Amino acid sequence: MSQVAIPAATALLENAKPLQHKAFAGKMFIDGQWKDAASGARFERSSPAHGQVVSSFPEATGEDVEAAIHAADVAFKKGPWPRMKGVERARALLVVAEGIKARVEEMSLLESLETGKPLTQARGEVSGCVDLWQYAASLARTTSGDAYDSLGEDMLGIVLRQPIGVVGLITPWNFPIWILSQKLPFALAAGCTCVIKPSELTSSTTVILAEIIEQAGVPKGVVNVVTGKGPTVGQPLAEHPAIGMLSFTGSTRVGGLLGGIASKQLKKVALELGGKNPQIVFPDCDWDAMVDAVVFGVYFNAGECCNSGSRVLVHESIAEKFAQAVVERAQQVPVGDPLHPDTKIGAIVSENQLGEILANIDKGIAAGARVRLGGKRYDAKGLYLEPTIISDVTPEMSIARDEIFGPVLSIVTFKDVEGAIEIANDSAYGLSAAVWSNDINTCLTVARGVDAGTVWVNTFLDGYPELPFGGFKSSGVGRELGKQAVEDYTETKTIQLHIGARKNWWLPQSTK
Ligand code: NDP
């Protein structure tokens, strides 16, 4: 089968309407006040789908970062937030959750315009954040330390969990409000104060969230937002000695840089980085469900997703049937204006990202892989890329190893269960994986054998706040969500309480 055309895309792209949108003019939120940058500079963000300016923000420098960290430091050392009862922090988080609910439409539109993702999908993500804030509120009441009554008659051990201090949160552009909500409410539930730096490409919903937090009555200085560029805002934030912990989601390159800074300063760091996540397909799987999940797994969010199922390992006996089935299904997926209700794949976030994706496809072709679908930019206004499927990929090719972060599926074959696990694990990454089979033994063997923080069995990309999320190897350090999510933003303190008279150390053993 040779490369085929992509009919689903054309109508939605050709009929895209000009954008009617008044640009959102954001400010920074520092010490409870709405601020411009000390320099007065601002930067703009244009919609990658429409090429029109949709938002603008102050362009912070080190001076603004310093002011935000100072506010968070004072709020931590002297303010009420870390000293409040858990139930009071929980109530505030629940008010924020309601505030998000009330502004879903406004936030989803800005999220869609800035990222290029479908508006219908953005609505799901913004609404989903409500649950993250509510779950964090429940943990604000239930996270606790420990007590040891087993240390002998004269000793009681108590382990306290205390907030770690000022936390720096650096977030990416692919799921701006969702990824922030995997971090911020849990840090707040612990009693920490925070300085947030959103991606310069997608700052709107973070600024709106700060408005919601202000309206919820969270004390000044507890949450601060600085807008601007990675090296000029993110890096000074990470390097500042008053930052007790850094939580970052983004590229492995910047994650490594920040991890280095943190380890030099001996500060805690949580890193959620990339993935090259294998979906492993066996011949005895539920075929239709698998094909749908493969297409969903790689094209959701245009593949700009750390959990993207960008690498499919398929049993060699069904490789051709599989390639034909996914090509056929992928052709049906509507690509188009993110604001159109039928669109499933929107625009790529930036010209830079689009160029990187195309360069990765070219590397695959040069190495001998075969493009079965797509592989090119659409001839349309906006940053759109054809859904792409590449077969004849071998495990050593860069297209099977590097995170592409675009709508590009690489198909690799395997011979047996052991071989599949070996290929799956021959990767620098270990974020997630999936296994498709109706044989429980196959599923359990793969699930236990693959190096991945999450393994889906006969499903893909499901997620729940109750379940921890994070990666093995170069996919990151630490876990988000789950019942330990608040604990990650705490330090433990051991208190040893002696009961009764303490025996004198200096007395000879015979007299004790
Ligand atoms: P980055 O890692 O550069 O961006 C993530 C965040 O880090 C952004 O807020 C960014 O700010 C900030 N940042 C950038 N440089 C620094 C720095 N020196 N110090 C502190 N903070 C910094 O990702 P890119 O946007 O460049 O995307 C490149 C690749 O990264 C993608 O192709 C993809 O492979 C991966 N990625 C992975 C994500 C994930 O979910 N794991 C999310 C996004 C990207 P700003 O945007 O303002 O520059």
Residue 314 sits in the same domain as residue 396: yes
Q: Which atom of ligand 1 is nearest to the CA of 175?
A: 40
Cα–Cα distance measured from residue 460 to residue 307, given in angstroms and rounded to the nearest whole number: 9
User: Who contacts 118 (Cβ-Cβ below 8 Å, separation ≥6)?
Assistant: 112, 338, 340, 343, 344, 345, 346
Residue 297 inside a domain? The answer is yes
Q: What is the mean pLDDT of residues 478-497?
A: 97
Q: How far is the CA of 260 from the centre of ligand 1 (A)?
A: 16
Q: How far is the CA of 9 from the centre of ligand 1 (A)?
A: 29
User: pLDDT at residue 75 above 80?
Assistant: yes
Q: Which atom of ligand 1 is nearest to the CA of 275?
A: 41
Q: What is the pLDDT of residues 368-383, one digit of tens each?
A: 999 999 999 998 889 9
Residue 465 inside a domain? The answer is no
What DSSP element (H or E) covers 249? strand 243-249
Q: How far is the CA of 295 from the centre of ligand 1 (A)?
A: 25
Output the pLDDT for position 179.
Answer: 98
Residue 52 inside a domain? The answer is yes
Q: Which atom of ligand 1 is nearest to the CA of 253?
A: 2
Q: How far is the CA of 171 from the centre of ligand 1 (A)?
A: 8
Residue 228 sits in the same domain as residue 373: no
Helix (H, G, I), strand (E, B) or coil at 183: coil
Output the pLDDT for position 1.
Answer: 42
Residue-by-residue DSSP string for 256-294: HHHHHHHHHHT-EEEEE----PEEEE-TTS-HHHHHHHH
Output the pLDDT for position 203.
Answer: 98
User: pLDDT at residue 510 above 80?
Assistant: no
Residue 259 sits in the same domain as residue 379: no
Residue nearest atom 30 in ligand 1 by C-alpha distance: 251
Residue 310 sits in the same domain as residue 353: yes
Q: How far is the CA of 170 from the centre of ligand 1 (A)?
A: 9
Q: How far is the CA of 305 from the centre of ligand 1 (A)?
A: 12
- Ligand 1, from 171, 204, 254, 473: best to mutate by most atoms within 8 Å of Cβ? 254
- Ligand 1, from 125, 195, 199, 304: best to mutate by most atoms within 8 Å of Cβ? 199
Chosen domain end from 457, 485, 503: 457
Strands 146-148 and 155-163: antiparallel
Residue 248 sits in the same domain as residue 110: yes
Residue 8 inside a domain? The answer is no
Q: In CATH, what number is assigned to the domain containing residue 391?
A: 3.40.309.10
User: pLDDT at residue 161 above 80?
Assistant: yes
Q: What is the mean pLDDT of residues 415-424?
A: 98
Residue 484 sits in the same domain as residue 347: no
Average per-residue pLDDT for the chain? 96
Residue 510 inside a domain? The answer is no
User: pLDDT at residue 8 above 90?
Assistant: no
User: pLDDT at residue 187 above 50?
Assistant: yes
Q: Which domain holds residue 83?
A: 18-273+475-494
What DSSP element (H or E) covers 107? helix 104-115
Output the pLDDT for position 258.
Answer: 97
Residue 172 sits in the same domain as residue 281: no
The structural domain count of the chain equals 2
Cα–Cα distance measured from residue 7 to residue 179, given in angstroms and rounded to the nearest whole number: 33
User: pLDDT at residue 4 above 70?
Assistant: no
Residue nearest atom 6 in ligand 1 by C-alpha distance: 172
pTM above 0.85, yes or no: yes
Proportion of the chain above pLDDT 90, given as a percent: 93
Residue nearest atom 18 in ligand 1 by C-alpha distance: 231
Per the annotation, the verdict on 272 as an active-site residue is yes
79-139-94 Cα angle (round to 5): 70
Residue 5 inside a domain? The answer is no
Cα–Cα distance measured from residue 135 to residue 129, given in angstroms and rounded to the nearest whole number: 10
Residue nearest atom 14 in ligand 1 by C-alpha distance: 230
Q: What is the pLDDT of residues 225-236, one digit of tens each?
A: 999 999 999 999
Q: Which atom of ligand 1 is nearest to the CA of 349?
A: 25
Q: What is the pLDDT of residues 302-339, one digit of tens each?
A: 999 999 999 999 999 999 999 999 999 999 999 999 99
- Ligand 1, from 251, 310, 472: best to mutate by most atoms within 8 Å of Cβ? 251
Output the pLDDT for position 2.
Answer: 41
Q: What is the mean pLDDT of residues 424-444?
A: 98
Residue 86 sits in the same domain as residue 209: yes
Residue 204 sits in the same domain as residue 343: no
Q: What is the mean pLDDT of residues 419-428?
A: 98
Residue 507 inside a domain? The answer is no
Q: Which atom of ligand 1 is nearest to the CA of 273?
A: 41
Q: How far is the CA of 226 from the centre of ligand 1 (A)?
A: 16
Residue 485 sits in the same domain as residue 433: no
Of residues 114, 272, 386, 403, which has the active-site annotation? 272
Phi, psi of 443 (to 5 degrees): -60, -45
Place of tokens 């499901």: 462
Strands 408-414 and 454-457: unpaired
Q: What is the pLDDT of residues 124-133, one digit of tens each?
A: 999 999 999 9
Which pLDDT band, with edges at 50, 70 and 90, does 512 fall under? low
User: pLDDT at residue 452 above 70?
Assistant: yes
Residue list, ligand 1 pocket, CB within 6 Å: 170-174, 197, 199-201, 229-231, 234-235, 238, 249-251, 254, 257-258, 272-274, 306, 353, 356, 403, 405
Residue 398 inside a domain? The answer is yes
Residue nearest atom 48 in ligand 1 by C-alpha distance: 230
Q: In CATH, what number is assigned to the domain containing residue 247?
A: 3.40.605.10
Residue 31 sits in the same domain as residue 153: yes
Q: What is the pLDDT of residues 199-235, one digit of tens each?
A: 999 999 999 999 999 999 999 999 999 999 999 999 9
Output the pLDDT for position 380.
Answer: 85
Residue 390 sits in the same domain as residue 241: no
Q: Which atom of ligand 1 is nearest to the CA of 200?
A: 47
**With contact defined as beta carbons under 8 Å apart, do 225 and 210 qualify?**
yes
**With contact defined as beta carbons under 8 Å apart, do 24 and 110 qualify?**
yes
Q: How far is the CA of 198 from the centre of ligand 1 (A)?
A: 10
User: pLDDT at residue 511 above 90?
Assistant: no
